[in-house]
C-alpha cells in the first residue's frame, strides 16, 4: 500500500526530522546536513528515500539541490489517516460491553445473581410476519444474531415443550450455543422460551428466559422483549454482560430484515 510505504519512510528518526525541517521551508541538502547533524551521504540517502515514496521533491537549481515537501501527497496521507480515525460504532459497542462486564462482576460480587432486561422495537411488518420471524427456523437464521455474528444453526419448535436451540458463529469460527424449550406459545401474540447459554461441556452458564409480546400498532408491530436472567456466577459475567447489548443489536437486525 502507498500509505504503508510513506509511513515506513517517515518512521526513521532522521527522515522524520528532515520532513519536520522541510515543513517550515524548502532547504538545500547542505542546510539539512547542518541542521540534522548527520553526514552528507546519509542525508542524501534519506532524502532519496523520501523522494522515492513521494513525500519530498528535489529541485535541481543550477549547482544547488533544494528539497521541498510534496504537500499534495502528504494531504493524501492525512486524508487516509483521518478516515482511519473516524469513530466506528463497533468501537463504542466494545467499550459498552467492557463496562457491562465490569458492572456484572460488581453485582455478582455483591451477591446479586438475577437481572430483568426489557427492550422494545417497532418493526414495519404485521404481527403474522413478525411471528414467523421468531418461530420459523429458516427466517430465524436470517436475523437472530448480534453484529459480527451469524446464525450457524437454529432449531425452533413453536409449541409448549418444543426444543429451542440457537448456535452463533463468530468471524473466527468460534461457536456459541444456547438451548432450552418453549414454555408458552400464544400464536401472533406471546412467546416465552428458556434459551440459556451453554458452556463448552453443554451445561447452562446461567438461566435465561425470554418473553416476546407482539402488539399491532401504526401499520406495524411493537415487539416487547423481556429477558429474565438468573443464577449468574463469576464465570458467567462476560456472557451476562453481553445480554442487553447483544439483544439490542439483534432486535435492530430483526427490524432491518422485516423492513
Report how far residue 207's alpha carbon sits from residue 210's, in angstroms, rounded to the nearest whole number: 10
Q: How far is CA 191 from CA 77, 167, 197, in A?
A: 54, 20, 18
Do residues 210 and 94 both lie within one domain? yes
Residue pair 216/127 in contact (Cβ under 8 Å)? The answer is yes
Do residues 151 and 189 both lie within one domain? yes
pTM exceeds cut of 0.85: no
Instruction: Report the domain count for the chain.
Output: 2
Helix or strand (DSSP H, E) at 246: helix 243-258
The pLDDT assigned to 63 comes to 81
Do residues 65 and 120 both lie within one domain? no
Do residues 110 and 222 both lie within one domain? yes
Q: Please identify, among 32, 65, 85, the residue that sits at the C-terminal boundary of a domain.
A: 85
pLDDT along the chain (259 residues), means of 10: 91 95 94 95 95 93 89 91 76 81 92 95 97 97 94 97 97 95 98 96 96 94 97 92 94 95
Residue pair 227/219 in contact (Cβ under 8 Å)? The answer is no
Backbone CA torsion sign across 15, 56, 68, 7 = negative
Q: Please identify, among 43, 61, 85, the residue that sits at the C-terminal boundary of a domain.
A: 85
Residue pair 234/113 in contact (Cβ under 8 Å)? The answer is no
Q: Please identify, among 85, 112, 146, the residue that sits at the C-terminal boundary of a domain.
A: 85
Residue pair 244/100 in contact (Cβ under 8 Å)? The answer is yes
Side-chain-facing half-sphere of 116: CA atoms under 13 Å:
3
Do residues 73 and 20 both lie within one domain? yes
Do residues 130 and 244 both lie within one domain? yes
Domain residues for the domain of 64 are: 2-85
The pLDDT assigned to 197 comes to 96
Report how far residue 113's alpha carbon sits from residue 235's, in angstroms, rounded to the nearest whole number: 12
C-beta neighbour count of 163 within 10 angstroms:
12
Do residues 130 and 252 both lie within one domain? yes
Do residues 252 and 202 both lie within one domain? yes
Helix or strand (DSSP H, E) at 68: strand 64-69
Task: Provide DSSP, 123-160.
Answer: ESS-HHHHHHHHH-HHHHHHH-S-TTEEEEEEEE--ST
Mode of pairing for the β-strands spanning 196-197 and 207-217: unpaired
Do residues 70 and 117 both lie within one domain? no
CATH number at residue 56: 1.10.10.10
CATH number at residue 184: 3.30.530.20
Amino acid at each position: 500500500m502507498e500509505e504503508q510505504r510513506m509511513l515506513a519512510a517517515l518512521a526513521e528518526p532522521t527522515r522524520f526530522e528532515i520532513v519536520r525541517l522541510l515543513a517550515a521551508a524548502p532547504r538545500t541538502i547542505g542546510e539539512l546536513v547542518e541542521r540534522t547533524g548527520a553526514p552528507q551521504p546519509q542525508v542524501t540517502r534519506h532524502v532519496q528515500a523520501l523522494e522515492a515514496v513521494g513525500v519530498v521533491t528535489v529541485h535541481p537549481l543550477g549547482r544547488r539541490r533544494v528539497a521541498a515537501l510534496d504537500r499534495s501527497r502528504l494531504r493524501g496521507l492525512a486524508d487516509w489517516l483521518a478516515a482511519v480515525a473516524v469513530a466506528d460504532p463497533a468501537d463504542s459497542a466494545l467499550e459498552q460491553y467492557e463496562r457491562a462486564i465490569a458492572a456484572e462482576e460488581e453485582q455478582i460480587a455483591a451477591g446479586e445473581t438475577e437481572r430483568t432486561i426489557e427492550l422494545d422495537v417497532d418493526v414495519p411488518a404485521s404481527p403474522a410476519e413478525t411471528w414467523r420471524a421468531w418461530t420459523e427456523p429458516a427466517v430465524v437464521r436470517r436475523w437472530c444474531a448480534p453484529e459480527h455474528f451469524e446464525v450457524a444453526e437454529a432449531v425452533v419448535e413453536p409449541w409448549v415443550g418444543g426444543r429451542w436451540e440457537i448456535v452463533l458463529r463468530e468471524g473466527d469460527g468460534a461457536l456459541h450455543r444456547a438451548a432450552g424449550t418453549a414454555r408458552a406459545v400464544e400464536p401472533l401474540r406471546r412467546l416465552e422460551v428458556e434459551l440459556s447459554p451453554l458452556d463448552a461441556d453443554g451445561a447452562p452458564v446461567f438461566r435465561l428466559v425470554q418473553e416476546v409480546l407482539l402488539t399491532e400498532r401504526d401499520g406495524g408491530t411493537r415487539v416487547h422483549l423481556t429477558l429474565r436472567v438468573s443464577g449468574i456466577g463469576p464465570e458467567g459475567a462476560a456472557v451476562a454482560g453481553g445480554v442487553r447489548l447483544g439483544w439490542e443489536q439483534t432486535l435492530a437486525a430483526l427490524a432491518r430484515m422485516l423492513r
